[in-house]
Structure 1
């Protein structure tokens, strides 16, 4: 809660900074030493790169998107088909789904610019910290470590999405050229290893929402798991060892599958690193709700008083059918649970995928307004193709709890959680020629048990791929996992086999137009 309160103070400070009349002490020159007068001002500045993470992950416009949508809409898990007059958006989502994107597509420019803005925020503060005297040396060391850790996280997303990106670590690097993917990988690894012991730990005062030692190890776990893709050299043993460090901390799996995504998920012991949010301040998670829901669902069904929805993003039927659709607690969400009297009915499933007839809290059918005008809104699992959907085409995903009566989302955005770490150890162990360790298999069976599906006696890579897909759906990991399993350029619903170079997105042409030193990724027109 401390981090959430700091976030509120930071965001409120931005809104007030232009309208407060204060007696000012005039300096001949504004420097870091006289700009930051106390620790509160320093902490507020450190919060800025944290707050920016929400935009990096969930940014959206009709011309492009952030990390989350790039990681989901280019995979077999989700799509954004055109539905009558809605959702075409210049063909962006069709091209993304079919791997037909171009170097001009806005999604890549939005993500690229957002991440380099985050890096610039970190670099600027790290430069200022050389002259800041408002905090003691121990705290300064921690804040510097946090900023370097956040910068490494921003670079991880660039490494994963774009590969050969410029390493900018100072405030006066203009028109930088590309670094190789191996160089970026090495930079991230070296930064994390160098700062790790200076980071806060779980349980320290104000640790929640900060880039902690456990978050650093979670990032290394993901980095090493994908090392063979990124560098050509497998790092399975390193992945297992650093993942074990996370297991050795005091995180634990929740008893309920959806506890990490509840409104009060700041209290979840499963979430290793989450971006703090607030109903009024930092309400970016509303975007995820808007991506998937129909505008007619918002108030009658969820009782939600904020904005929504776009009736855009749907879940691909073939992906949903990897679940035991009748029994898996993570799968079907029966809209009848909203009707008064049904709250405790155990026969009504409360998963994350909504399809079939939709009802409001008054028990009345939700009605369509466009090509389903006046008709009962019945979400159809089958979508004809990316161009020819209708208002009711596709199942919808609701992974994060929607609080009745709220005007925004206070759920924190989960970036790393313990379940992923167990999956990482299991996969690295299998790929390293071994078997899944018993304690890790036991943990995966806890995940299976809470989903109400049978446990495993052992695991193959294919079974692990499917189970991780089911558990980690809509958490921004699918593209990376598909690439590692060599499935990303294959065919799936309304998508043919694509070229191998599509495992990297193009360097945005708009960035190359202003920086002639940027080379394009292989396979794309130069």
Structure 2
């Protein structure tokens, strides 16, 4: 299958004319007249290359090497999209801890003591608003008027550009979805707004309504599931964002949308996806070929180099005691024990039912203790080996630092568990209850995952086993380190407060209660200073 090429070359046309500034987007176009010069559009495949730049903002940070960034004053490592997403959705939870707390922003995130000056919170907000800016400018440059003025008359090219525009609108909706989830508000700007506009503030209900309307508008015109070229989105991507919104609608807008979530999940499942027989193949250097992958963020050790989430995870998995880098396809020392597991996650796999579970890639015991009493001591805490820079055929990636492994943003295993949870909640299950009301379809989906992880053996659960507490634990067993955990804990009422604590939650070694305002991240201080329309979230 033809693959969308995402590399620094195709980003030059976008990045060179975007200026890091203190405006409403943090990143805004300098001047409509100089964006993507007419000479650029005279090139063969120019519009496709321009679209690659919009996608590329989610994988790369700048138009130089992996250390470059078009965001002024922000390090590339604290503004790469998947890495920031992973930090905010996983490092702030019970699944993982980062050893090097001198790295800017990490200590505050993993101890749940962040504030509006955190550089990673700024990096995510800026990178995501940058995605809005890129999508908007691509849409400005591909209007019928612009195309007519350039003499674009080829019917095939015009049809392709219309596809590109629908994908750009979907990527913009996805950016606003992340802003809604993480920050609860954002400056709202479309291609119709004048350049360098300080957009009005949209809150969660307003963002929810826009994203839902926008995705439903473009959905019929996106390519059907699994028919687009590798690296580009399709209808299943849009449905996945809608399903996530509907599953979390009570958090976002106080409204039950579980039946809508089930409908979107069913349509995704009908799109031709299938579980990869080997669970771990979804996290290897050729995971872009997995029939389970709905959409992944590209990583390539040669042409798409960044310090993104998979590079961080695979290098960080190398244990301080184990020197297991070669087994993961990176340098033998990796990053010297950068990542370890908090006790509460390890305990999700306690019991004989998980003795042979392929999802249990934990290593510990002996000199490696379960407890982490000192975060700086890299020998404390179990380690993980879920992600790898080696292909399913055993071939290592061509670069021992920058990995080939794509970040699995959306995959079928998540859809199965979303369906089951939405069905149970639709039919009356609530947080904290012992209601066990998974229907036969939900049980089929849950057991398909458990059988896959255990070669079809002795893993099945019955209706009486499946409560919502089971579901959230199963989500962690199936989806750990994939950018979902914070969102899940909030939806289940286990993130803030003290009903569920984990190691170093709230800056206590054994975990302490944290306040409800931490369900949202603060708007960065720089963004507030730049846009008078924005207001800070409560508690910051």
| Distance in 2 separating the partners of 1:240 and 1:275 | 25
Partner of 1:11: 8
Deviation at 1:46, TM superposition (A): 0.2
Q: Once structures 1 and 2 are overlaid, which stretch shifts more, 127-136 or 255-264?
A: 127-136
Which of 339, 362, 373 is the equivalent residue of 1:353? 362
**Alignment counterpart, residue 428 of structure 1, candidates 409, 422, 431:** 422
Query: Partner residue of 2:277?
Result: 255
Q: 2-side partners of 1:11 and 1:213: how far apart?
A: 27
- What's the offset of the Cα at 1:31? 7.3
Distance in 1 separating the partners of 2:526 and 2:356: 41
- Identify the residue that residue 449 of structure 2 maps to in structure 1: 447
Match of 1:401 among 375, 385, 388: 388
For residues 364 and 92 of structure 2, the distance between their equivalents in structure 1, rounded to whole angstroms, comes to 22
TM-score, reference length from structure 1: 0.81
Between the aligned partners of 1:150 and 1:220, the Cα distance in structure 2 is 13
d(CA) in 1 for partners of 2:36, 2:11? 20
1:74 aligns with 2:74: no
Contact kept, 8 Å, 1:38 with 1:134, in 2: the verdict is: no
| SS of 2:202 mapped into structure 1 | coil
The equivalent residue for 2:107 is: 94
Question: Is 1:214 the equivalent of 2:223?
Answer: no
Aligned counterpart in structure 1 of residue 313 of structure 2, from 276, 288, 303: 288
Alignment of 1:207-356 (within 5 A): 207-283=229-305, 284=308, 285-294=310-319, 297=323, 301-302=327-328, 304-305=330-331, 308-309=334-335, 311-324=337-350, 328=354, 351-356=360-365
Q: Does 1:494 align with 2:504?
A: yes
The 2-side partners of 1:183 and 1:17 are apart by 29
What's the secondary structure of 2:295's corresponding residue? strand
Unpaired segments ≥5 residues, structure 2:
16-32, 67-74, 391-395, 429-436, 506-511
Q: How far apart are 1:304 and its partner, in Å?
A: 2.5
Distance 1:486 1:405, change over 3 A: closer
- With over 3 angstroms needed to count, the CA separation of the structure-2 counterparts of 1:267 and 1:302, relative to structure 1, is closer
- Taking structure 1 as reference, are residues 297 and 54 closer, same or farther at Cα in structure 2, changes over 3 Å only? farther
Please give the alpha-carbon distance, in whole angstroms, between the structure 1 residues aligned to 2:328 and 2:282. Answer: 19
Structure 1 residue runs of 5 or longer lacking an equivalent are 19-27, 332-348, 358-377
Measure how far apart 1:436 and its partner are. Answer: 2.9
Inter-CA distance 257–34: structure 2 relative to 1 (3 Å threshold): same
Q: 1:421 to 1:513 in 2, by over 3 A?
A: same
Q: Is the 8 A contact 1:60 1:66 kept in 2?
A: no
Work out which of the residue numbers 467, 481, 484 in structure 2 matches 1:477.
484
Please report how far the alpha carbon of residue 261 of structure 1 lies from its aligned counterpart in structure 2 after TM superposition: 1.5
Q: Which of 160, 164, 167 is residue 143 of structure 1 equivalent to?
A: 164
Task: Name the count of aligned residue pairs.
Answer: 466
CA contact (8 A) 2:419 2:442 kept: yes
The Cα of 1:350 is off from its aligned counterpart by: 8.2
* 1:192 aligned onto 2:215: yes
The counterpart of 2:369, out of the listed 367, 371, 380, is 380
Please, which of 121, 136, 145 is the counterpart of residue 108 of structure 1? Answer: 121
Further displaced range: 297-306 or 476-485: 297-306
In the aligned structure 1, how far is the partner of 2:326 from the partner of 2:290? 29
CA offset digits 1:274-301 (Å, max 9, x no partner): 1232221113432222333347836555
RMSD: 3.0
Shift of 1:325: 6.2
**Which piece of structure 1 moves more, 70-79 or 168-177?**
168-177
Indicate the SS of the match to 1:476. coil
Paired residue secondary structure (1:281): coil
Partner residue, 1:346:
none
Paired position in structure 1 for 2:467: 460
Per-residue deviation, 1:72:
0.6
Deviations 1:75-118 (A, max 9, x none): 1112224xxxx43336x333223321111111111111111111
Distance in 2, matches of 1:316 and 1:221, equals 29
Q: 8 Å contact 2:265–2:418 — kept in the other structure?
A: yes
Question: 1: CA distance between counterparts of 2:139 and 2:79?
Answer: 33
Match of 2:72 in 1: none
* Cα distance change of structure 1 residues 229 and 39 upon mapping to structure 2, 3 Å threshold: farther
- Mapped to 2, the partners of 1:173 and 1:470 lie a distance apart of 45
8 Å Cα contact 2:224-2:234 kept in structure 1: yes
Preserved contact between residue 184 and residue 204 of structure 2 (Cα < 8 Å): yes
